Amino acid sequence: MKVRAMPADRHGCGFYRVIEPVRATRLLGYDVDFAANTPNESPDVLILQRPMQRKLIEQIIPAAKQAGVAIVVEIDDNFHALPQNNPAFGNTHIRMNPDNNRSWLKKACALADLVTVTTPALAAEYAGHGRSAVLPNCVPEWYTDIQHEDTGRVGWTGAFVWHVEDLDMIRGKLSNDTPFTLIGDEQCQPFYPSTDIQVVPFKPLNEYPQEIAKLSVGIVPLVDNAFNRGKSALKATEYAACGVFPVMSAMPDQIRLHEQYGIGEIVTKPKYWDRTVQWWLTHDEERRKRTTEARQIVREELTYEARAEDWVTAWRRADAYAEPRREQYAIS
């Protein structure tokens, strides 16, 4: 089985959902690569991440299917439940660009042999035909080797523009004297009125985990809406991989991470944020015990190296779905 992939970008989205799975499966000896590296090949399976271009849906996907190529559409966010204050709402709206928008994404999913997603909620949104595979987000194994610095600081990573409602949910909920680190965006600073606050600018992906590893507790506040109910527990998994204790909102995938692996703690109501954060920040022995256990669990079960075969299994399903079509075209 020859698999070729087209990541949407080289940033977090492409890195975690395409670039890392390609790397991990290649380590096992599978014939997996990026389409850009092999432009003249006809693969058995072609992975398209977040395809929203009219030309892809109207021309390239049908032509590839007719040539016997199995099409996998990869999605990691619910673009049809975006809050209106999220920049992606306007950027992917049909009125902004009739030839590149989220309506084409739905059509691509309908044409796909398989839709791979991070959560069951996304499978329900984008794979009504039933041809889906839920592949939870993982982290590279090397995250678990980074030296953790138990600094006694609480932290959050991200950009303000993508998390306005999430940050507003915990405005004023954390104590003013909590040592706090923002990794990413100083626009978020007003939401954390700490007298001891550090702002660390965005880092390249190969430096980002080292900054996470300087925290003792990491928070993942997500307001309860349809978009966040489809989000994966990636940030909490990053924290755990780097030796940081995650405190998370009660969103489905974060609950899964906690209940299935015992990682972190769930905050069920906004008023409990400070109490929960302070408990884990001040109970050093229990926190270190739990983070050591969580880090080992991530290493054994939640890295791309550990889960690589899951991705191959999904791609094999897509290949199998395409087989009757290949036979049909061969006969005709």
Q: pTM to 2 decimals? A: 0.94
Instruction: Output b/e per residue, 15-41; b: 16+ Cβ within 10 A.
Output: bbbbbbbbebbeeeebebbebeeeeee
Structure tokens at 108: 């691509």
pLDDT in tens, 60-98: 999 999 999 999 999 999 999 988 888 788 888 888 889
On whether both 147 and 258 belong to a single domain, the answer is yes
On whether both 187 and 292 belong to a single domain, the answer is yes
Output the pLDDT for position 330: 58
- Percent over 70 (pLDDT), the chain: 96
pLDDT band at 100 (very low <50, low <70, confident <90, very high): very high
On whether both 152 and 291 belong to a single domain, the answer is yes
pLDDT band at 329 (very low <50, low <70, confident <90, very high): low
How far apart are alpha carbons 161 and 67 in whole angstroms? 42
97-111, 164-178, 266-280: least confidently modelled range:
164-178
How far apart are alpha carbons 331 and 104 in whole angstroms? 31
Burial class of residue 59 in the structure, from the number of CB atoms within 10 Å of its CB (0-12 exposed, 13-18 middle, 19+ buried)? exposed
pLDDT in tens, 21-30: 999 999 999 9
How many domains, in total, are found in the chain?
2
On whether both 58 and 160 belong to a single domain, the answer is no
Q: Is the pLDDT of residue 193 over 70?
A: no
Higher per-residue confidence, 288 vs 161: 288
On whether both 22 and 119 belong to a single domain, the answer is yes
How far apart are alpha carbons 315 and 172 in whole angstroms? 46
In which residue are the tokens 């939640």 written? 302
Beta-bridged to residue 4, according to DSSP, are: 33, 46
Burial class of residue 188 in the structure, from the number of CB atoms within 10 Å of its CB (0-12 exposed, 13-18 middle, 19+ buried)? buried
Output the pLDDT for position 261: 98
Residue type present at position 38: T
Mean pLDDT, range 163-180, rounded to an integer = 84
Q: Is the pLDDT of residue 234 over 60?
A: yes
pLDDT band at 189 (very low <50, low <70, confident <90, very high): low
On whether both 42 and 147 belong to a single domain, the answer is no
On whether both 295 and 321 belong to a single domain, the answer is no
Q: Are 16 and 75 in contact (CB under 8 A)?
A: no
Output the pLDDT for position 84: 86
C-beta neighbour count of 147 within 10 angstroms: 9
C-beta neighbour count of 261 within 10 angstroms: 18
Domain that holds residue 220: 141-301
pLDDT band at 173 (very low <50, low <70, confident <90, very high): confident
On whether both 60 and 95 belong to a single domain, the answer is yes
On whether both 133 and 179 belong to a single domain, the answer is no
Beta-bridged to residue 201, according to DSSP, are: 184
Q: Is the pLDDT of residue 190 over 90?
A: no
> Within the chain, where are the H helices?
12-14, 20-27, 54-55, 61-66, 87-91, 102-111, 120-126, 164-169, 208-212, 226-229, 234-241, 252-261, 273-282, 284-301, 304-331
pLDDT band at 331 (very low <50, low <70, confident <90, very high): very low
Higher per-residue confidence, 300 vs 325: 300
On whether both 76 and 202 belong to a single domain, the answer is no
How far apart are alpha carbons 71 and 114 in whole angstroms? 7
- Residue 147 carries which DSSP code? P
Beta-bridged to residue 217, according to DSSP, are: 154, 245
On whether both 312 and 295 belong to a single domain, the answer is no
On whether both 108 and 158 belong to a single domain, the answer is no
Q: What CATH number does residue 90 fall under? A: 3.40.50.2000
